[in-house]
Homo-oligomer: A and B are copies of this chain.
Amino acid sequence: MSENTPRDEDSPSCDAGDHDRQPIRVDDVTCQRAAAIFRALGDPQRLRLLIMLEARECCVSELAAVLDEPLPAVSQRLRVLKSERLVSSRREGKHVFYGLADGHISRLVTNGVMHAMEES
């Protein structure tokens, strides 16, 4: 009676044929890093920024203008994205250009958006 898993006699027959795929072993640190990345992606406005940056590098004021948001707000969001290394920045004169940190990010974003569009 000390069992918590339903793998013995009081369990139904559901799991007999289930193919136990080898679970990915993920250490706590990685898990937290991954969660942090997802959390950074978990805001509509930040996601908008990433979607724009997927097309090309943009400077902060351009992003603010296109998205019709106050510039400090955009800068803040970019800061969050940068702290998770989702974007990188580059200064060019008066302007600071932001771009996706690497191609992976694009896949991540696109995947999520696709999934959001497909269902429902």
In the complex, which residue of chain B has the Cβ closest to the Cβ of A13? B92
Q: A15-B57, A24-B54, A108-B111 are in contact. Are A31 and B6 (CB under 8 A)?
A: no
Q: Which residues of A contact B (CB under 8 A)?
A: 4-6, 10-12, 14-15, 18-24, 26, 28, 30-44, 46-48, 51-52, 54-57, 59, 61-62, 64-65, 85, 92-95, 97, 104-105, 107-108, 110-120
Interface of A is mostly: helix
Is there an interface contact between B116 and A33, defined as CB atoms closer than 8 Å? yes
In the complex, are the beta carbons of A107 and B116 less than 8 A apart? no
Contacts of A40 in B (CB 8 A): 42
- Name the residue of chain B whose CB is nearest to the CB of A46: B35
